[in-house]
Structure 1
Amino acid sequence: MSHPATKSYGPPLGGGQLQSIQALRAIAAAMVVIYHLVHAENVYGGGATFLGGPAHFGFAGVDVFFVISGFIIATITARRFGSTAGALDFLGRRALRIFPLYWLCSAAIVLALIVRPGSLDPSIAEKSILHSLLLLPQEGGPMLVVGWTLTHELFFYTLTAIALAACSRSRIPRLIAVWAIVLLLLQLIPTHTPWPKLLTSPLALEFMAGAVAGLHWRRLSARHAWVPLTTGLIWMAVACLWLADHPSHGQTDGIRVLAFGLPSALVVAGLVRLEAEGRIQPPRIAVRLGDASYSLYLTHVFVLSLSGRVWGSLDATGTSIANAAFVFSTGATCCVTAHLVHRYVERPMTSLGNRVWDWSSSILAGAKH
């Protein structure tokens, strides 16, 4: 998932964009695409296999996104604590960032259910449209399969807004520590329904880890910034080796937090510190793909489904070479589609939403005075 966040992150680099974060978002989004390509190859690959092994760990891209989200939110809210108006503004802008494109993609699924219901997984028709559109917890997640991560994002945003309204910034480290302890204790209580699962999910620890990195990355010296970066990368590599033969490659919330979430926070802190010191410069193409990562996250499932059906209908898969062509061409199409959607749909909608929000906020502010 690309996680939805603004392109400019404010104070960390003197108002400039954190390009290393954008590049990391591109990597995380590509990981999720590769993970879903594994499934697409299983369905449309004619029995042959090109992807495998490390590709199964593409799901960890979601864990990277959650950490990035925590980092960004800790950064952009640094000067907004103690204000109810600031909390509402934060929550409103987050909603404007998430929902328009998500609703557009969800509408495509609803339309397909109406026009060609047999073309989709029957389980989709059983899901609540209202719960899906509002990203409320429900069994099996929303109609748009990747939307479950956005439900976790909204939960984190809501808690952040409450903290912005009720706390000072100096209390945030203690608040995070208390939340983490309570969450760990809640793991002792079994949960079986959607809401309790969300409220007690250990995945929230990944947002917390990212927020801690966002609060403290400046304390790293430039000389030592490579230490958390390399430690995090080695940590994840060892986790992949350890989980290679594990059922589902470790896709339980607790395992993925330990294996990929916590080390991702080290990677993020190290990368940002190195960028701040001018030690690294991410490739421009990675930054551009990072800009479009939310579009990539939401639209790639449509591209994979359409491409798989086309290749399957042509009987063009079934060998390793043919499947490699399917994987690379489909992955490239996902990226191109995401760039176009970002440029001509997502970015204009976000810009319009922000303008309307600014206008309405100014009207309300004027009415109060």
Structure 2
Amino acid sequence: MNTFNPTLHGLRGLAALAVLIFHWGETFPAFRQEISANWGIVGKIVSQLIGFGWVGVLLFFVLSGFLLTTSNGHMAFNKKALGVFWARRFLRIYPAVWLQLIILSSLLGVLHGLNVPASTGQWLSNITLFVNLPPYLPYPVNAVWWTLPIELSFYLIFPLLLLFAKRHSFLTLLVTAVVITLAWRIAVMWYFREEPGYGPVQPYLDLLPGCLAIFVMGMYAAHQSMQLSAIQQKLVITLSLAALGTLMYWLTSNASHYWNGHWMLVIWNFSVSIVLATIVWVTGKNPEIRKTMLSGKLTVFFGEVSFGIYLWHFPVLLAFHQWTSGWQNNPWISLLILPGILLPTLILASISYYCIERPAMQLGKRLGSTPRN
């Protein structure tokens, strides 16, 4: 079954670009500060949108749940099928990461901001992507790898989640996942209640139990087959974007309390995932909505190379930060640095995709079609 949807590809590309822009805004803040202070309400809104680019990670998680359910919804639960599934997931992540690890290893000590493994154990942690995980929280060479163990954990248990949904229902799976996620985040906050803030224990909060409901929201959306009229689609997208803006405003209004134990630390990510899953559901299940700029050739290309964008933008950003030392307080130079980061990132992401990722995925396809019930 061909499950390719250009609009979902476009959304994936948008997620990767949002994360890139977020890290640019954090590392080169002069332009954000300028527009927030001097461009009125429009400048403040744009500045806030840049600051929320990290929500692209949540969109990645929702899309993973949606796309895996769409493409593997009828998989058989036997040894061969599971082996094929996990091998394909392995090939989707590790070859591109290993290529990057080889290249970045030659830049350790030269490119400031990379984490230098201090022992053989830390090198093995990076090779296996057992990074940013308790109890030792080994640092990844590339800081953005912190999401990959969460994604891989979801891949590992996805067949079990799918089997649970088939034996019970996707709604039961969703309710169970929500309970697990909220309970986990509450438990982590309680356990570390004596800490001055929860920022340093974010790796514990965001382990798979703390993010499970986000992935499962995508799975649940993939299972919903209701079709909407063109007007209904536009209305749902409009209301979803309004809800997303409201949630962002809510977090912004409580930013000073968020990491100090505000209860939204328990529910905010999952609340946003409901909105994101709604948008993914509309674009994934209603063909009419696909005729948008998100399904254009450029945005589909961004989607194709989105994993490479995610992997490579941060080292490129670190290089620009090192090279432009002393110029970064100028807001216009800060702005010009953005396309300077984007172009080499796209080149490296394209090399990663066409030379490593796509051949690895083709190898996965040659392992044989996933057996069906």
Equivalent position of 1:264 in the other structure: 276
1:56-88 residue CA offsets vs partner (Å, 9 max, x unmatched): 101100011111111011111111143332122
Q: Distance in 1 between the 2:217 and 2:100 partners? A: 30
Equivalent position of 2:185 in the other structure: 187
Equivalent position of 2:68 in the other structure: 73
1:175-207 residue CA offsets vs partner (Å, 9 max, x unmatched): 343233233333342356899655564322110
What is the Cα-based RMSD across aligned positions, in Å?
Answer: 3.3
- Shift of the alpha carbon at 1:345? 3.4
Distance 1:135 1:197, change over 3 A: farther
TM superposition score normalised by structure 1:
0.79
Q: Distance in 1 between the 2:186 and 2:217 partners? A: 21
CA contact (8 A) 1:203 1:253 kept: no
Equivalent position of 2:242 in the other structure: 234
Distance 1:86 1:194, change over 3 A: farther
Report the secondary structure of 1:58's partner residue. Answer: coil
CA contact (8 A) 1:71 1:212 kept: yes
Distance 1:195 1:240, change over 3 A: closer
The 5 Å alignment of 1:105-254 reads 105-113=100-108, 117=109, 119-121=111-113, 124-126=116-118, 128-136=122-130, 137-138=133-134, 139=137, 141-163=139-161, 169-173=166-170, 174-190=172-188, 197=205, 201-216=209-224, 218-223=225-230, 224-247=232-255, 254=266
Equivalent position of 1:321 in the other structure: 332
Equivalent position of 1:367 in the other structure: none
- Is residue 21 from structure 1 mapped to residue 29 from structure 2 by the alignment? no
Q: Distance in 2 between the 1:111 and 1:90 partners? A: 33
CA contact (8 A) 2:181 2:210 kept: yes
1:87-136 residue CA offsets vs partner (Å, 9 max, x unmatched): 221111001101100111123333333xxx26434854358222222222
Aligned-residue sequence identity (percent) comes to 21
Q: Distance in 2 between the 1:123 and 1:317 partners? A: 23
Q: Distance in 1 between the 2:318 and 2:269 partners? A: 29
TM superposition score normalised by structure 2:
0.78
Structure 2: tracts of 5 or more residues without a match: 36-45, 193-200
Q: Distance in 2 between the 1:80 and 1:65 partners? A: 22
1:314-369 residue CA offsets vs partner (Å, 9 max, x unmatched): x55432222211123322332343234322333234334544x459x99xxxxxxx
Give the letter aligned to residue 331 of structure 1.
Answer: L
1:124-183 residue CA offsets vs partner (Å, 9 max, x unmatched): 43582222222222426522211121111111111113345x557353513343233233
CA contact (8 A) 1:34 1:55 kept: yes
The 5 Å alignment of 1:25-36 reads 25-36=12-23
- Is residue 57 from structure 1 mapped to residue 65 from structure 2 by the alignment? no
Moved more, 18-27 or 248-257: 248-257
CA contact (8 A) 2:115 2:142 kept: no
- Counterpart of 2:345 (choices 307, 319, 334) is 334
Structure 1: tracts of 5 or more residues without a match: 1-9, 363-369
CA contact (8 A) 2:153 2:208 kept: no
Q: Distance in 2 between the 1:264 and 1:79 partners? A: 24
Q: Distance in 1 between the 2:126 and 2:169 partners? A: 31
Distance 1:86 1:326, change over 3 A: same
Equivalent position of 2:317 in the other structure: 304
CA contact (8 A) 2:87 2:364 kept: no
Q: Distance in 1 between the 2:158 and 2:95 partners? A: 21
Give the letter aligned to residue 236 of structure 2.
Answer: P
Q: Distance in 2 between the 1:141 and 1:171 partners? A: 39
Moved more, 125-134 or 293-302: 125-134
Q: Distance in 2 between the 1:47 and 1:220 partners? A: 40
Report the secondary structure of 1:327's partner residue. Answer: helix
Give the letter aligned to residue 341 of structure 2.
Answer: T
Q: Distance in 1 between the 2:32 and 2:235 partners? A: 43
Give the letter aligned to residue 79 of structure 1.
Answer: H
Distance 1:278 1:38, change over 3 A: closer
Moved more, 196-205 or 146-155: 196-205
Q: Distance in 1 between the 2:165 and 2:302 partners? A: 36
Moved more, 204-213 or 278-287: 278-287
